[in-house]
Amino acid sequence: MNRHTRIELGFAVAVILLGLYLLIGSGDINLGSGYDRIGPRFFPYLIAAGLLITALTMLLESWFRRQQASDLNVKFIPLIYIASGLLLCVFTLERLGFIISVSLMFIFIARAFNSRRSLRDAGVGLVLGITIYFIFTSGLGLVLPTGILSGVL
Kindly report, residue by residue over 85-124, the tens digit of the pLDDT.
999 999 999 999 999 999 999 999 999 999 999 999 999 9
Burial per residue of 4-28, b for 16 or more beta-carbon CB atoms within 10 angstroms, e otherwise: bbeebeeebeebbeebeebbeebee
pTM of the model: 0.59
pLDDT tens profile 29-66:
777 666 666 777 788 889 999 999 999 988 888 777 65
Residues 6+ apart with CB under 8 A from 51: 15, 16, 18, 19, 22
